[in-house]
Amino acid sequence: MSAPLPPLTVIPPALQTLADYERLAQLHMAPDIWAHVQSGAGAGLTLANNRGSFDRIALLPRVLADLRGGHTRRTLFGRDHAAPILFAPIAYQRIAHSDGELACVRAATAMGVGMVVSTLSSVSLEAIAAAGRDAARDLGTTPAPLWFQLYLQETRADSAELVTRAEQAGYEAIVVTVDAAVKRATFALPRGVFAANLPSGSDRRQTSTPRGAILFGTPLAETAPTWEDVAWLRANTSLPLIIKGILAAEDAGLAIEHGADGIVISNHGGRTLDGAPAAIEVLPAIADTVAGAVPLLLDGGVRSGTDVVKALSLGAAAVLVGRPQMHGLAVAGLAGVAHVAHILRGETELAMAQLGCATLDQLGRDCVANTATRTVASPQHRHN
């Protein structure tokens, strides 16, 4: 089998969609890395449903709307984002490109979108934040909004140390992932790639158990995080606390009760429980339960601007993008990741224009044609 192609230095005109990047990325990754990036749990039912659920939602175009002054800006936790798109926390990004997370934070800064940095990043959280500041200085702009994704560690002292490091490095929110403390993982990291934020070997909880292993009664299950750990975390940081990995409306309510300032609706990219619903399927029910108390973000299956507006129409404040980030990184490094964000923003603006919505706050359930997900919009909601 031929070796992976090196990253491109020029973006060819044929690369126009995220699907184009996905097709090309396979040529720029080793087969085992490609298989890991693309894989889901079990038979891949949830992974496939993440995409299929978006495809089953129809949008309702509106014509002759006034689009003057249109924009895609969104404010989250006091910070402006050029578009309602954030780079999702992806572990070990150097498996796709030698610059890894450094390329992604520079791309996020160039495009004015947020980035969520993984506990399992292959570059230290401090170096990533510094690269964002350097990129902002070079571009004469503001650093990208940076959030730190936390996997709760085996001891609270270790978790607290990571949070303190993130606070001191200038991260603006803590995103605690709650759906992956127990999962299967068999991927062997390439030489030279490791969890840069953790002592050697201490990522055991996240790299988890081999297929078929007995779980209950083991230390992994006995020490799995609980809501008490979320309450402890809330009491130990002044940063906004966002809970990632919610699918049940009841859990969304519990998250708020335990101090969450935001929720990411996610099934971990289909990597944990095969047969779980797609995030977009449960978004309307969670939005109804939360009723605007905290911002909702959606993670899983976003591959186009129409996906973005579907998520926002059904109640999300923004979306997170995972695998496409890795596709862009493998194909062309910084330029590829920036181009992925640019494509998504451009497609989002086009979809909004077709829906007759000049700003994000005009998107609502009346934009969705499927009767099961529609509600009657207030008279002033659109085209005012």
Could you tell me which residues come within 8 angstroms of residue 316 by beta carbon, excluding any fewer than 6 positions away?
Answer: 84, 265, 283, 287, 296, 297, 298
Give the pLDDT mean for 188-194.
93
Q: Which residues are catalytic?
A: 268
Task: Pick the range with the lowest mean pLDDT from 75-79, 137-141, 219-223, 314-318.
Answer: 219-223
Q: What is the pLDDT of residue 211?
A: 55
Asked if residue 375 has pLDDT above 50, the reply is no
The dihedral sign for the CA sequence 310, 314, 317, 318: negative
Q: Are 101 and 93 in contact (CB under 8 A)?
A: yes
pLDDT of residue 200: 78
pLDDT band at 8 (very low <50, low <70, confident <90, very high): very high
Task: Give the span between the Cα atoms of 85 and 81, in whole angstroms.
Answer: 8
pLDDT, residue 157, reads 97
Whether the predicted pLDDT of 156 surpasses 90: yes
Find the length of the chain. Answer: 384
Query: Which is nearest to 170 in space by CA: 196, 143, 198?
Result: 143
Helices marked H in 73-148: 101-111, 125-139
Coil vs helix vs strand at 154: coil
In the chain, helix, strand, coil percent, each to 5?
A: 45, 10, 45
pLDDT at 225: 85
How far is Cα 125 from Cα 295, in angstroms, rounded to an integer?
25
Number of helices (H) and strands (E) in the chain: give both, helices first.
13, 10
Contact 347, 305 (CB under 8 A): yes
- Write the DSSP symbol of residue 372: G
**What was the pLDDT predicted at 215?**
59
pLDDT band at 201 (very low <50, low <70, confident <90, very high): low
- DSSP symbol at 248: S
Average pLDDT, the chain: 92
pLDDT at residue 9 is higher than 60: yes
**pLDDT tens-digit readout, 14-33:** 999 999 999 999 999 999 99
Write down the residue that tokens 């989002």 correspond to: 348
Q: What is the pLDDT of residue 222?
A: 60
Domains of the chain as residue ranges with CATH:
18-373 (3.20.20.70)
pLDDT at 220: 61
d(CA 339, CA 12): 11
* Per-residue pLDDT at 280: 97
- Return the DSSP state at 5: P
Dist. CA 331–CA 298, nearest whole Å: 25
